[in-house]
Copies of this chain bind each other. A is one copy, B any other.
């Protein structure tokens, strides 16, 4: 079976090298040989191994028009031209394997509608690298009524938060280290500002809850404002701060969001370190499941891509997989409509009645306080950290308004969700 690979970056090279070198393994697993017959590249002059160079082309049309190519593996990244090429391949009756979360999150259902019968669209590598979460949601867990998914699905931000936690590093220093070690890209905004995690949780939620999610409607907050003080305070409060992507089925609709979240030590996601990913799934009848593994990088991503290639090859022999993507839009409900705990750090005027005034402001808004810590005095000002009891966002905003007007409060320095699950 002949396949074409579009894009020869880190993942593309891993995939081509693995298929070239493991012919025997694939034949034994699949009963036939797989061969990468064509490779689409953008830069003709780039240095490549000769064996790969011999198969390169700059003309996507050649690949799309080649009737011998049965599977197209899209590893270009970015929205266009990747989306158009995937569409053209599916229309031409070729199966497509992609690691492109942007294309799947924005255009997955539309693309799956374009596919000729027998042409599959597979994207295990688009979410959480080598962790088999897509196939698990589409197949193994398909008989469940899922209730919640919580995930650490961005390795870059988890690496940075882990370094801040373990080494007491500042955000800037941890980012610099992540860039140096290759965990952060030169332009890391998609990771740091949570857009990458939004795409991933949107895909997972769409599969888990059976309606397609509009990524632009998902609430998101990145990690740029997390300071080493917050990390230290979180520890004193018995927790850690992680960038949590969440999707919950509530009676009013789906709640989706990505934000830094203070979770207690002992939670299965609290101990996920470095560039690892982990996904927690809860449903009926399954109960709770946890998947953990490498979420990014050439080797892990190529594992998922190759698994999909094998699946696509098997499936072509029997006429297609027949796993449909949901097409109806999923109604979203803002997270703030549910009661959550929040962590706040405030800078107060260093006066005896400051804390009393703060407590009063919360009490008047009907917000209870679960814990208050007053760790530091800095020349005329004091910092306090506090965690609220369960409160809806509207109530919290009322308290924040009162705090801003209070003569006791100099500034609100942090506001972080302090409970993953609605209370």
List residues of A whose CB falls within 8 A of some B CB: 14, 18, 22, 25-26, 28-29, 31, 124, 130-132, 135-136, 139-145, 210, 268, 283-294, 298-300, 302-307, 309-311, 314-315, 317-324
A136 to B320, CA, bound (A): 19
A293 contacts B286, C-beta separation under 8 Å: yes
A131 to B210, CA, bound (A): 21
Nearest residue, chain B, Cβ from A326: B28
Given contacts A26-B143, A144-B303, 16 further A-B contacts (CB under 8 A): A18-B143, A25-B143, A28-B210, A130-B285, A135-B135, A139-B307, A139-B311, A143-B306, A143-B307, A143-B309, A143-B310, A285-B298, A285-B303, A317-B322, A318-B322, A319-B319
Selected from B124, B140, B292, the residue in CB contact (under 8 A) with A132 is B140
Selected from B286, B311, B318, the residue in CB contact (under 8 A) with A303 is B286
Inside 8 A of A324's CB, which chain B residues have their CB?
Answer: 31
Inside 8 A of A29's CB, which chain B residues have their CB?
Answer: 142-143, 210
Query: How many Å from the CB of A148 to the closest CB on chain B?
Result: 14
Inside 8 A of A22's CB, which chain B residues have their CB?
Answer: 143, 145
Inside 8 A of A290's CB, which chain B residues have their CB?
Answer: 290-293
A294 contacts B286, C-beta separation under 8 Å: yes
A130 contacts B286, C-beta separation under 8 Å: yes
Inside 8 A of A306's CB, which chain B residues have their CB?
Answer: 142-144
Selected from B135, B141, B283, B293, the residue in CB contact (under 8 A) with A289 is B293
| Pairs across A and B, CB under 8 Å, 16 listed | A18-B143, A26-B143, A28-B210, A29-B210, A124-B140, A135-B136, A135-B140, A140-B307, A143-B303, A143-B306, A144-B303, A287-B294, A289-B291, A289-B294, A291-B291, A318-B319
